[in-house]
């Protein structure tokens, strides 16, 4: 029986990219050699995921430190004259203040199971955003606490230990196939892919295009 929901945060509850983040990308584009803003985002996500994947366990590094390294790489790669420290400061503002999706408040109000946010983020950023939007989750589990980031299964093992729940008692919701579907299912947690962009659904994956669609999929008592 489901006793709780684990829920990703950025990309699921709050926007991964917003006006501030777009301004950061635009600054790099206008002061460097990138052919397009999309090219910058492509390189950013590639190196960010690569470096985040190496920053686990004894080698754990905060999102702040990984992002700083990535901005240094991006500005050098595209020969931008922007100061990486200023870009990071602006990006930190985005993580703290970005908007949440319109269906989030209604979902959190209607769902009768406790919701725990499980996110790749530093505590400071996600707590500031949660407080800004007056959300009241049952708990918050971050990569900073676990010292592991999705798609490493250790973050979910840590979340289960911290909440005192077993894998059969939890369902996870998130927007990433690798981090929010394959990762939790690797430790026995049922997962629902939040497919807001209506992409092709891989075989065997449970999905929904919005949070309201998920409510009937939950075993609530």
Q: Which of 24, 27, 72 is nearest to 47 (CA)?
A: 72
Tell me the pLDDT tens digit for each residue of 116-155. Answer: 999 999 999 999 999 999 999 999 999 999 999 999 999 9
For residue 186, give both structure tokens: 């690797």
Task: Give residue 221's pLDDT.
Answer: 45
Pull the structure tokens for residue 12. 């699921």
What domains are there in the chain, each with its CATH number?
Answer: 4-15+99-217 (3.40.50.1000), 19-97 (1.10.150)
Residue 32: C-alpha distances to residues 46, 87, 179, 202 (Å): 19, 14, 32, 38
Name which of 156, 130, 125, 151 is nearest 141 in CA terms.
Answer: 156
- Which segments of the chain have a pLDDT < 50? 221
Task: Report pLDDT for 220.
Answer: 58
Q: Among 171, 144, 167, 139, which residue's Cα sits nearest to residue 155?
A: 144
**Can you give the pTM of this predicted structure?**
0.93
Residue 174 CB neighbours (<10 A): 25
Closest CA to 150 of 124, 168, 125, 175: 175
The pLDDT > 70 percentage for the chain reads 99
At residue 220, the 3 state secondary structure works out as: coil
């Amino acid at each position: 029986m489901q006793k709780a929901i684990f829920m990703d945060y950025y990309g699921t509850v709050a926007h991964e990219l917003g006006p501030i983040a777009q301004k950061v990308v635009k600054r790099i584009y206008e002061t460097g050699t990138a052919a397009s803003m999309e090219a910058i985002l492509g390189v950013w996500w590639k190196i960010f995921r690569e470096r985040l994947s190496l920053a686990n366990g004894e080698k754990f590094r905060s999102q702040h430190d990984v992002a700083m390294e990535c901005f240094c790489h991006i500005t050098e790669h595209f020969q931008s004259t922007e100061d990486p420290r200023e870009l990071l400061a602006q990006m930190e503002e985005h993580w703290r203040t970005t908007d949440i999706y319109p269906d989030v408040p209604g979902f959190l109000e209607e769902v009768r199971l406790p919701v725990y946010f499980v996110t790749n983020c530093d505590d400071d950023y996600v707590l500031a955003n949660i407080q800004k939007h007056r959300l009241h989750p049952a708990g918050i589990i971050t990569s900073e606490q676990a010292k592991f980031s999705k798609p490493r299964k250790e973050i979910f093992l840590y979340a289960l230990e911290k909440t005192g729940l077993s894998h059969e008692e939890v369902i996870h919701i998130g927007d990433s196939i690798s981090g929010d579907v394959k990762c939790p299912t690797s430790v026995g947690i049922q997962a629902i892919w939040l497919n807001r962009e209506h992409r092709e659904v891989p075989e065997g994956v449970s999905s929904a295009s919005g949070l309201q669609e998920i409510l009937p999929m939950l075993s609530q008592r």
